[in-house]
């Protein structure tokens, strides 16, 4: 055991790995338990790309965390020796009145992040792949782009193993004792000074008290190949979000070895995280209805993959970080927007566990109710 003590972490998604990273930097000994391979393709964190951005609509508390989140990513890039981020910017398409603009404009101005309107008359030439007839306003924002999670998780694992983190792959944790800081896996009991639950959509199995607050939600995304005449336009596109009521969806362009991915932010609040990850007709029903509204000539696109993914969602999409018993700590940082905040989430957990900040303050920071 090191002078600072030993921390056991359940889950090797971005929350668990980033917590391991932040603790290792502080001199703790860390052991990570993961039910599958490391990293695990069933984790919410496993994907080709994820959006990062400063624009956060009415959630101004989370917007205010983003400059610090970007700084944490910069530290990760330095530590792993690679930058898995494409700062391609983000463009938002509004159809009718939308409360997104005034609050976003206010927080981007406060953070000194550039943003501008794209005149509707010029949009068709730049976005020939979209249906723009009912679009009323287009806003382009800086300080946004795509993170590449599979590469991030893989590099973090290699880096952390090199720093002495002990990884237990294929080690389902069947029980935790937050009073004694123990975890049970394959009939063996492991002990530490603190235990952190970062088990994503499985968290409520280990900590049932989480259940009413954060529920697993089965979500679908589609990977597509655009028609060849639009391939170039897509390859130069930024991250795009249609924020019309009927047509809402987000689009991540095919760049740096990724495919075009489209999903939505409409929670199902149903399902079990152990289920199959192939999206069914029912899973993609809303996307199939919406995409012809958002995308021009959608019937010319080839579907490459329909994927289901699970995350936890809270009523107002806030993240949960709090003490469980005397020596446990739980992180449920998801609701579909947790990857971009991953390193900051890990940093918050490390600050709480090391006593650098009061635990109650970390709970409020993680919930976007207080700023750093």
Ligand X SMILES: Cc1cc2nc3c(=O)[nH]c(=O)nc-3n(C[C@H](O)[C@H](O)[C@H](O)COP(=O)(O)OP(=O)(O)OC[C@H]3O[C@@H](n4cnc5c(N)ncnc54)[C@H](O)[C@@H]3O)c2cc1C
| C-beta closer to ligand X: residue 328 or 336 | 336
Min CB(277)–ligand X separation in Å: 10
Residue 221 binds to ligand X (criterion: CB under 6 A): yes
| C-beta closer to ligand X: residue 10 or 76 | 10
Distance CA 131, CA 220 (A): 22
| C-beta closer to ligand X: residue 176 or 232 | 176
| C-beta closer to ligand X: residue 122 or 269 | 269
Angle at 153 between CA 82 and CA 177, to 5 degrees: 140
| C-beta closer to ligand X: residue 25 or 205 | 205
Residue 30 binds to ligand X (criterion: CB under 6 A): no
3-state helix, strand, coil in the chain (%, to 5): 30, 25, 40
Structure tokens at 177: 């004792």
Residue 144 binds to ligand X (criterion: CB under 6 A): no
Residue 45 binds to ligand X (criterion: CB under 6 A): yes
Min CB(196)–ligand X separation in Å: 11
Could you tell me which stretch among 58-66, 79-87, 282-290, 336-344 binds ligand X (CB under 6 A)?
336-344
Residue 13 binds to ligand X (criterion: CB under 6 A): yes
Residue 70 binds to ligand X (criterion: CB under 6 A): no
How far separated are the first and last CA of the chain, in Å rounded? 31
Among residues 338, 343, 346, 368, which is the contact residue for ligand X, using CB under 6 A?
338
| C-beta closer to ligand X: residue 123 or 323 | 323
The answer to whether residues 58 and 205 touch, using CB atoms and an 8 Å cutoff, is no
Residue 200 binds to ligand X (criterion: CB under 6 A): yes
Residue 54 binds to ligand X (criterion: CB under 6 A): no
Residue 318 binds to ligand X (criterion: CB under 6 A): no
Exposure string of 106-122, with b = 16+ CB inside 10 Å and e = fewer, is ebbeeeebebeebeeee
Exposure string of 311-328, with b = 16+ CB inside 10 Å and e = fewer, is bbbbeebbbbbbbbeebb
Residue 172 binds to ligand X (criterion: CB under 6 A): yes
Residue 166 binds to ligand X (criterion: CB under 6 A): no
Residue 322 binds to ligand X (criterion: CB under 6 A): no
Among residues 6, 8, 28, 33, which is the contact residue for ligand X, using CB under 6 A?
33
Residue 6 binds to ligand X (criterion: CB under 6 A): no
Q: How many chain residues bind ligand X (CB under 6 A)?
A: 38
Q: Concatenated DSSP letters for 224-273?
A: EE--GGGHHHHHT--EEEE--TTT-EEEE---TT--EEEE---------T
The answer to whether residues 309 and 268 touch, using CB atoms and an 8 Å cutoff, is no
Angle at 76 between CA 54 and CA 348, to 5 degrees: 70
Residue 328 binds to ligand X (criterion: CB under 6 A): no
Distance CA 71, CA 85 (A): 13
The answer to whether residues 108 and 60 touch, using CB atoms and an 8 Å cutoff, is no
Site for ligand X in 223-262 (CB under 6 A): none
The answer to whether residues 49 and 147 touch, using CB atoms and an 8 Å cutoff, is yes
Which positions lie near ligand X, rule CB under 6 A?
A: 10-16, 33-36, 40, 42-45, 50-51, 172-173, 198-202, 206, 219, 221, 263, 309, 311, 333-334, 336-340
């Amino acid at each position: 055991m090191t002078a600072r003590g030993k921390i056991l972490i359940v889950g090797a998604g971005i929350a668990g790995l980033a917590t391991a990273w932040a603790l290792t930097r502080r001199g703790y000994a860390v052991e990570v338990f993961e039910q599958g391979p490391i990293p695990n393709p069933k984790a919410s964190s496993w994907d080709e790309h994820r959006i990062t951005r400063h624009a956060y609509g009415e959630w101004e508390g989370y917007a205010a965390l983003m400059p610090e989140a970007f700084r944490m990513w910069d530290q990760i890039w330095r530590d792993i020796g690679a930058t898995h981020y494409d700062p391609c910017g983000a463009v938002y398409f509004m159809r009718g009145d939308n409360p997104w603009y005034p609050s976003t404009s206010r927080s981007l101005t406060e953070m000194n992040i550039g943003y501008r309107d794209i005149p509707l008359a010029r949009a068709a030439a730049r976005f020939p792949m979209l249906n723009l007839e009912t679009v009323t306003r287009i806003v382009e924002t800086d300080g946004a782009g795509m993170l590449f999670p599979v590469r991030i998780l893989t590099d973090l694992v290699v880096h952390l193993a090199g720093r002495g983190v002990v990884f237990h792959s294929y080690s389902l944790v069947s029980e935790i004792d937050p009073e004694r800081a123990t975890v049970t896996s394959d009939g063996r009991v492991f002990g530490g000074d603190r235990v952190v639950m970062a088990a994503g959509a499985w968290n409520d199995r280990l900590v049932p008290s989480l259940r009413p607050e954060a529920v697993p939600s089965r979500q679908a995304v589609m990977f597509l190949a655009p028609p060849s005449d639009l391939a170039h336009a897509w390859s130069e596109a930024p991250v795009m979000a249609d924020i019309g009521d009927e047509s809402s969806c987000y689009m991540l362009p095919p760049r740096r070895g990724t495919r075009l991915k489209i999903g939505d932010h409409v929670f199902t609040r149903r399902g079990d995280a152990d289920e199959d990850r192939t999206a069914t007709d029912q899973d993609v029903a809303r996307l199939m209805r919406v995409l012809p509204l958002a995308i021009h000539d959608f019937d010319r696109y080839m579907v490459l993959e329909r994927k289901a993914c699970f995350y936890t969602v809270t009523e107002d999409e806030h993240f949960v970080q709090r003490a469980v018993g005397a020596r446990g700590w739980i992180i449920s940082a998801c609701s579909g927007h947790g990857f971009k905040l991953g390193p900051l989430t890990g940093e918050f957990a490390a600050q709480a566990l090391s006593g650098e900040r009061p635990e109650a303050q970390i709970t409020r920071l993680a919930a976007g109710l207080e700023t750093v």
